[in-house]
Structure 1
Amino acid sequence: MAVSLDIDLLRSFAHVAESGALSRAAERVGRSQAALSMQMKRLEDIVGQPLLTRTGRGVVLTVHGERLLVHARRILASHDDALAELSGGRLDGTLRFGCPDDYADAFLPALLRSFAQLHPAVVIEVVCAATPRLVSRYERGGLDLALVSVPLDAERAILRREALVWVGAKDGATDWPDPLRLALGDPDTLDHRAALSALSRAGRNYRIAYASGSLAGLLAVVRSGQAIAVLTQAAVPGDLRILARTAGLPPLPKIGLVVRLDEGHASPLTRAFAGHIRSLLPVL
């Protein structure tokens, strides 16, 4: 007998994955923790694989759970979009969305264009800034949701993993002077912290030639050949080059992208756009 993935089970599973705890997820879906636990057991029986591992701090996804989550997000987004369109319930209104500067060119056009095709009456106000500024604005109520960068070990619900890379001018030097000249974001940003940590561990001398929240200013310094920078690989402009390990630079960590929103109080429009991001971002 053929089996199928129930939308209600997938939605509950996505909430568990997002919250990292059955108790918090139960509040979001309006069920008891015991009922939600039974749902997760039923879903595991359907797919024939363990999906969750319980720890003292909550639950974490197994390898099979991570794989199912990717499919679940796509299925839920397609389901909700189809239901909204066919029932005449196309969304409208205004949404305030925060996106890190370095992802504006890489991801925003595809996200906004495809959502506008589904919901042409929606107006999305985009705020681009460094992640710490977006988090602060979101927590003050100035954004409905935000796409932010986090260390990989800081979150469970990572939508996309990105490598941090060293970047220099295309025609710049290949033999970097000592001390190394850096152009970095603000001191509280992941690129700044990762660069200094990696260089300190490697015992490499450096000097910060430029540190600012202005991505345009940072890129201008790099294009001039006066310094090198750290960017996420997907955000490297075509006129800059990723510096190979042969340049004598230490390896950098990967970071993750997550969506920040209050599921319990988010509007249908906010939830719909968050689902759209979750379905598209991993494959962009």
Structure 2
Amino acid sequence: MSRHLDIDLLRTFVAIAETRTLGRAADQVGRTQAAVSMQVKKLEEMLNQPLLNRTGRGVTLTLHGERLLGHARTILRHHDAAVADVSGAGLSGTLRFGCPDDYAAAFLPHILRSFAGLHPQVFVEVYCAPTPRLQEQLAKHALDLALISTADTGAAAAILRREPLVWVGNRHDDAASREPLQLALSDPDTLDHRWACERLEAAGRPYRVAYASGAMSGLLAVVRSGQAIAVLTQAAVPDDLQVLPTSRQLPRLPTVGLTIRFDLPRPPALVLEFAEQLRRIVPAL
């Protein structure tokens, strides 16, 4: 039996993996559920491996199915980009973009609106999370590209934008003066968490990480309650909160750089075009 991977079979398989049911996948690819089931069977026979576990609630991927999913997504991205480029039909397809949670509100509306105006046939899936989680998703090829926060080492060519980290508190309380200082920080492996702790320890200021989470909404809720202060990039500070002045007890924090990372060494045309749009827009926001 031929071992060539058929594009239609792969597209159906990805639809099943994303919807977790044969019925919804059939609607997505425009086939009957029976036809979708036959396509899966054909793909399993060709690879000589089970790809799906069928349950009462739908389907889950087997270990072999999980392995195929990453390859299938990569093949489809390259296929769709090649068809659009050679046919002159313009860019189309799906692009998976990661953005640090603290930049989402400030940057994403401008980025997505401008790109949609140039390429209306492209669907952009957005995943917001702290930088270490974005890097994990890139390593698994679950994202095509991501904006990444990095230490500002002065490599101007690689950094799109520099953002100072700042202490942030409620406008109507004195959380910054409490002893020990109560902090609401992102995940322990993020730059803001590490640098906040390092600077306070160097200054000899007692502190306690009262709340740690990768969810920006949770951090902001704690700060708004007046129970703790947070560390954010300056662009991410909401209007109802305030940047706290630095002092000997609240030391100045470093600046982070914002750069682009890809999941592939040679990204397809669609991904490169989105990256170019990021390079044009992000520095000016």
- Length-normalised TM-score, structure 1: 0.67
Matching residue's letter, 1:276: Q
Deviations 1:209-245 (A, max 9, x none): 1011111111110000000000000010111100012
Deviations 1:51-74 (A, max 9, x none): xxxxxxxxxxxxxxxxxxxxxxxx
Q: CA RMSD in A?
A: 2.1
Q: 1:95 to 1:241 in 2, by over 3 A?
A: same
SS of match in other structure, 1:153: coil
Counterpart position of 1:220: 221
Shift of 1:247: 8.3
What is aligned with 1:16? Answer: none
Deviation at 1:248, TM superposition (A): 3.7
Aligned to 2:130: 130
2-side partners of 1:162 and 1:117: how far apart?
Answer: 27
In 1, Cα distance between the equivalents of 2:183 and 2:154?
A: 26
Q: 1:117 to 1:175 in 2, by over 3 A?
A: closer
- The answer to whether 1:202 aligns with 2:203 is yes
| CA positional deviation for 1:90 | 2.4
Specify the alignment match of 1:183 in structure 2: 184
| Cα distance in 1 for residues equivalent to 2:193 and 2:236 | 16
**1:193 CA displacement:** 0.5
Using structure 2 for the length normalisation, give the TM-score.
0.67
1:106 alignment partner in structure 2: 106
Question: Do the aligned residues in 2 keep the contact of 1:149 with 1:258 (CA within 8 Å)?
Answer: yes
CA deviation after TM superposition for structure 1 residue 153, in Å: 1.9
Q: Shift of the alpha carbon at 1:273?
A: 0.1
Cα deviation 1:146-200 (Å, max 9, x = unaligned): 1010001286611100000000011121761111000001100111001001101
Q: 1:89: Cα distance to partner?
A: 4.6
Greater radius of gyration (CA): 2
Amino acid at match of 2:270: L
Shift of 1:117: 0.3
Tell me the distance in 2 between the aligned counterparts of 1:262 and 1:137.
Answer: 9
Secondary structure, counterpart of 1:194 in structure 2 = helix
- Following superposition of structure 1 onto structure 2, how do residues 57-206 of structure 1 map, counting pairs within 5 Å? 89-153=89-153, 157-173=158-174, 176-206=177-207
The answer (yes or no) to whether the contact 1:174–1:247 under 8 Å persists in 2 is no
Does the CA-based 8 Å contact 1:164-1:191 persist in structure 2?
A: yes
Aligned residue number for residue 235 of structure 2? 234
Q: Is the 8 A contact 2:138 2:263 kept in 1?
A: no
Instruction: Give SS of 1:105's match.
Output: helix
Give the conservation status (yes or no) of the 8 Å contact 2:95–2:125: yes
Corresponding residue of 1:259: 260
Q: CA 1:197/1:136 → structure 2, altered by over 3 Å: closer, same or farther?
A: same
The CA distance in 1 between the partners of 2:150 and 2:271, in whole Å, is 21
Q: Residues 197 and 246 from structure 1, CA distance in 2 versus in 1: closer, same or farther, beyond 3 angstroms? A: closer
CA distance in 1, matches of 2:273, 2:114: 12
Alpha-carbon contact 2:203-2:249 (below 8 Å) kept: no
Contact residue 139 and residue 263 of structure 2 kept, 8 A: no
Corresponding residue SS for 2:91: coil
Q: 2:271 aligns to what?
A: 270
Q: Which runs of 5 or more structure 2 residues have no equivalent in the other structure?
A: 1-83
1:262 & 1:130 partners in 2: Cα distance?
17
Give the unaligned 5+ runs of structure 1.
1-83
Q: SS state of the match for residue 166, structure 2?
A: strand
How far does residue 265 in structure 1 lie from its aligned partner after superposition? 2.2
